[in-house]
Amino acid sequence: MNLLLKQEIFRKTLHISASIIPISYSMIHSLNDYYIAFFLFLIIGIGIILEYARGRYKQVEIFFSRFFNFMMRNEELAGKLTGATWLLLGCFFSVILFPKEISVVSMLLLTIGDAFAAIIGVAFPYGNYKGKTISGSLGGFFLASLIIFCFLENLNPIVLVVGSIFAMLTELLPSPINDNLTIPIISGSAMLAIGQIF
């Protein structure tokens, strides 16, 4: 296994583990919008404090270096927000912007689809496009759609397909904004719009 693939698997394993957020939100009925949004807000706050501290306090920098640097990208090592913080922000905005069902799907497209897209893209790099691979985007969001459809049986498949297409395009096309934020917002908006028709 090459180093890049190993790094991506470690990184995206954490990404997939974040699926506990939308799954808990979906299955625990007492966990309403306010509770999950407040929880995410707290975790994001802690994350941003740690992000700030790692560039200014030696002990925090040593901690990050020991446990996380091997899976961090160059821009993150240089001091930009890590993908984990962006992912939590994406989940937070999904919860406050969309109805529960759409919010859950948009978060799963992020945590599962984006993760599989990255791993498949590194393992089978076909159709390179500005640092991303078409094989990764297609494979990742196809697998994510199957998993989500099995998990949410009552979901309108047309809504899911539209969400997956928009998530895939958002992941593939270059943007100055981190795709951990844009994937759930854009796919959620598309699903909300198409849900008004079907």
pLDDT in tens, 131-167: 788 999 999 999 999 999 888 878 899 999 999 999 9
What total of structural domains would you count in the chain? 1
pLDDT tens digits, 45-69:
999 999 899 888 888 888 888 888 7
Percentage helix, strand, coil for the chain under 3-state DSSP, each rounded to 5: 75, 0, 20
> Is residue 156 within 8 Å of residue 198, measured between CB atoms?
yes
Residue 92, pLDDT score: 98
Instruction: Name the average pLDDT for the chain.
Output: 89
pLDDT per position as a tens digit, 112-134: 998 898 888 888 889 888 778 89
Q: What average pLDDT score do residues 30-54 get? A: 93
Angle, vertex CA 190, rays to CA 130 and CA 172, nearest 5 = 10
Position 3 scores a pLDDT of 57
* Six token digits for residue 82: 């890590």
Reference 4, options 102, 94, 71; nearest CA is: 71
pLDDT at residue 111 is higher than 90: yes
Q: Which domain holds residue 82?
A: 3-195
pLDDT at 1 over 60: no
Over range 24-47, report the average pLDDT: 93
Helix (H, G, I), strand (E, B) or coil at 154: coil
pTM above 0.85, yes or no: yes
Residue with tokens 């961090």: 72
Q: Helix or strand or coil: residue 30?
A: coil
